[in-house]
Structure 1
Amino acid sequence: MPDDFVIARNPDGDSTLPYVLRIPLGEHGIVLKSRETWPRTSKVYCHRVEEWPEDAEVLERVPVRSCIRRGAAIDLVLDRGRENRSQLVMIRVRGGRQAIFWQTARTAKQARPAVAVPKARASGVVGLVIVVDSHERYAYGFADQQVVTRKAGLAAGDYGVVRDGSLIASVERKSLVDLVSSLTTGKLKYQLADLAAVPRAAVVVEDRYSEVFKLDRVRPAVVLDGLAECQVRWPQVPIHFCETRKLAAEWTYRFLAAATVAAEEDELGEAVVSDLASPPPLAAAPATPAEVRAWAAVNGYQVSDRGRVRREVVEAFEAARSR
């Protein structure tokens, strides 16, 4: 029986699960495809694989203290100081299909925050349609919100509201791991630049800001400085940290609903302004006697240097000025 916990890169480039795990349980171990290398910020979905791929690139091999099956769960304890205790839970979903979720005590607690999501409709919006980017793999279902979703390509962000073919609001979703990766590789700056072109946009992170200080693969100061620089450069695109994925979905829904109401108010204001009648032009100021005398002298009229100017001369001046 294999006695190490092994993480490798999935050689199947078409798979949405980029990693392969080997759990030291049974004669040949249990092989799983996984979305992450460890459940750091949320539960990780895994899928059973029949055998270990021969051409898999091993990324990590860790000795195991214990690996025990307890009913529908496997308790795994690794022989290292941090990120050493986790559990794989097997459940049945719709259609009787088996699903496996990899979790730690912290991520399991985060999955059930001690708050109730409100059922009230956001900002009084009726029939809100949220467009989910076609590249979003594990999209929010918005099951607790009064919203309709549809898949389509978005120019920026993962979730948006489209009006008359234009993206009027957008939200980019990030796990903490994805946030750190996109920040350190420079990808986040390009994403923020795209979001800044949208009238109203934001980035939502499925974790606490305090978790940045606990990073061990990247210096926390590097991430904190990078986030601050991004907010200074693109202040119109806030980066909002939410405690869990569920609360991030709720925040996304409320933000897009508020943005929809604001867009409608902007359109109404523009319509009111365009409907206002243009004020009549101001009448020209009456000419002074000095201006009339100067014009009369140039145009061959005889006028006195003092007193009133004859009426016919004034009328000729006004007629000439109006032409």
Structure 2
Amino acid sequence: MPDDFLIAHNPEDGSRLPYLLRIPLGPDGVVLKAKETWPRTGKVYCHRATGWPSEPDLVERVPTRSCVRRGASIDLVLDRGRENRSQFVLTRARGREAVFWQTARTAKQARPAVSLPTRAAQASPPSRSSSTATSGMPGPSTTSRSPPAAKGLPAGDYAIEVAGRVAASVERKSLVDLVSTLTTGKMRYLLADLSSLPTAAVVVEDRYSAVFKLDRVRPAVVADALGECQARFPTVPIIFCETRALAQEWTYRFLAAALAHAGEETHVETEATPLTSARAASPGEVRQWAREHGYAVSDRGRIPREIREAFDARR
């Protein structure tokens, strides 16, 4: 399967779609004709191409962090700092297939007309005490450790690394930021990026019931968008905590648990090879070794304990 997202010039003369895109999905990738090299100002119309040229005139080659087909769309996350999250939406127009390439900036969140809930859900606060930030990393103030190194993350606000790779990440949001991210359509791109990591979550510094007290946007719009996000990206939970301090506490405990889990998996991988590949020696092999080393052993019957222990010790 192709590993990189490729953009090349369309070799067809006079085409209104001057670029070819190869999406790294499937054994041969998905090849599309496109009008632009990135949806910067609006959605980019794409059309299926017959195939990828044998000697393409490449415009750009970008490593891919994640490329997943979800229903009628393809979520693409590129391994670069900017212009890295996009989505290809497969639909039909006038009975023919149409593909639109969009980003959170160019897409608009759908707002279905639904009735508001009559009762607001209540969130139960965690029973653990709140904590304060330490050197920009969430965690109890009593913890003594060196400040973490500041560097960019592929996704999220906080993360842990194991063997130089991000093992878990958390995106923290206030309710205002959450609403803005949902209604502008940016949340699905953020979740697509987080879902490419081994473990990830979004934690909101407010109650879920606060969603139904919003006055600048219909609460049903936000509630429906949250439900859609969880159904679309079930591996990235969205957790509501009552306060910033409790959200900070949850983030710290989540990352600590993820670190311990990653350590257990690393230990299992390290120890699995000798345990699974080890084979118990047969009695014939033990007898042959014993004779070669001057031990008297019969051709049949039980091998003496001292010989077996000597054989095991030499290993």
TM norm structure 2: 0.44
The structure having more radius of gyration, on CA atoms, is 1
Q: Which has the higher contact order (CA 8 A, sep 6+)?
A: 2
